[in-house]
Amino acid sequence: MHAAASGVLLGLNPLWLATVVMIVTYGVIISERLNRSIIALLGAMLMVMFGLLTQEQAVAGVDFNTIGLLVGMMVIVSITRKSGVFEYLAIWSAKLVKANPAGILAMLAVVTAVVSALLDNVTTVLLVVPVTLVITEALKVNPYPFLFSQILASNIGGTATLIGDPPNILIGG
C-alpha cells in the first residue's frame, strides 16, 4: 500500500500532507517543549507511515559520514573537556597578556577561533565560555564584549575547515 503513488492520502494531496507534517514538526521544535531530536524522528516516521517516503528513501536521506564525524568529534571533545585543555588554554592566554582585559579579549577570541577550526564551534563556545566568565568576574569587567568576540571568532574559525561546523561537513560531503 503506497499511498503516494495514488496521489491522495486521507483525502489530501501528498504535497500538502508533507507540508503539514513539516510545519507541525518545525512548530513543535520551535516551541522547545519536547526534545528536538525526538520530534525530528517522529516527523520522519510520519512521512514514512503516511507513505510520503519509502523506508529506503528515508535512509538514503541520512548522511552517515556526517553523523560519524560528529560522533567522533563529540568523543574527542568529551576527552579534551575532562582533561582540562580548554581551561588551560583560557588561563594560559590570560597569563600571556598579563591579565590585561583588552589583551585577554583578543587572546580568548584567537584561542576560540583556532579551537573552533579544529573542533565543532558550538561545543567550543560551550566549553570556553564558563572559563571566560570566571576570568571576567575575577577582573571585574563586563563579560559581554568577551562573549560576543568569542561567538564571532567561533563562527569565523568554524568556517575555516570542513570539520568546524556541521553545514561545512554536509557541503564537503
pLDDT digits (tens, 9 = 90+) for 75-100: 887 787 788 887 787 788 888 888 78
| HSE-up of residue 9 (Cα within 13 Å, Cβ side) | 20
The letter for the amino acid at 113 is A
**Which one, of 100, 108, 21, lies nearest residue 58 by Cα?**
21
Supply φ then ψ for residue 63, to 5 degrees: -95, 95
pLDDT at position 152: 92
Cα dihedral 48, 53, 55, 58 sign: negative
Average pLDDT, the chain: 84
Q: What is the pLDDT of residues 56-68, one digit of tens each?
A: 988 898 888 878 8
Query: 6: pLDDT confidence band, cut at 50, 70 and 90?
Result: very low
> Does the structure show a pLDDT above 70 at 25?
yes
Q: Locate cell 489530501: which residue?
A: 12
Query: 15: pLDDT confidence band, cut at 50, 70 and 90?
Result: confident
